[in-house]
Amino acid sequence: MTNRSNPAGFHPIRHDRLLQEAVHDTYQTKGKLPEPTVCPDCGAVFHAGRWQWLEKPKDAHQASCPACHRVRDKFPAGYVSLSGKFLAAHEPEILQLIRHREAHEKTEHPLQRIMDIEKTEHGSLITTTDIHLARGIGEALHHAYQGELEFHYNPEQNLLRVNWSR
């Protein structure tokens, strides 16, 4: 009979438990991409473990980034619904604030983009490639113009719905 000892910090696998993924996102990269990798659609570069805006390296691998993949599939991660009389009266400046917020976020985080802004029966609907941008847009609108702000997060789908009205 042998007596096994485990090194410090090592925990044996328990076969009586199933490990559950916290968030299942089919658009998240399924492993480490070779570095450097360039997205052929937007030009973002995967370097040092994340997507960045860098000079395109020579002889880089090519793979679509998760944001371009979502845009191509028309499958947003964030929805921002805008409504109310204030929106109708101030729509151009509100849309300018939203575009400014996207530009600010996109400089540091290439995967945070607006997919579409469309008119709806009650106002406008903005779709984003990332839940953080949707939340940031909602918070920026609330900070600038107050109004009613609601967040509805669906962890199973990694989806955020933001409703702002005034």
Q: How many alpha carbons fall within 13 Å on the CB side of residue 148?
A: 9
Q: Give the per-residue pLDDT at 16.
A: 58
Q: Give the per-residue pLDDT at 123.
A: 95
- Nearest Cα neighbor of 94 from 164, 159, 141 is 141
**Chain centroid, CA 98 distance in Å:** 15
Q: Give the per-residue pLDDT at 155.
A: 83
Query: 69 is written with which tokens?
Result: 């993949």
- Helix-helix angle 85-108:131-145, to 10 degrees: 130
Which pLDDT tens digits describe the chain residue by residue (166 residues)? 555 555 565 555 555 555 454 555 667 666 788 889 999 999 999 999 899 999 999 899 999 999 999 999 999 999 999 999 999 999 999 999 999 999 999 999 999 999 999 999 999 999 999 999 999 999 999 999 999 999 999 888 889 999 999 9
Q: Give the per-residue pLDDT at 15.
A: 53
Q: Model pTM?
A: 0.81
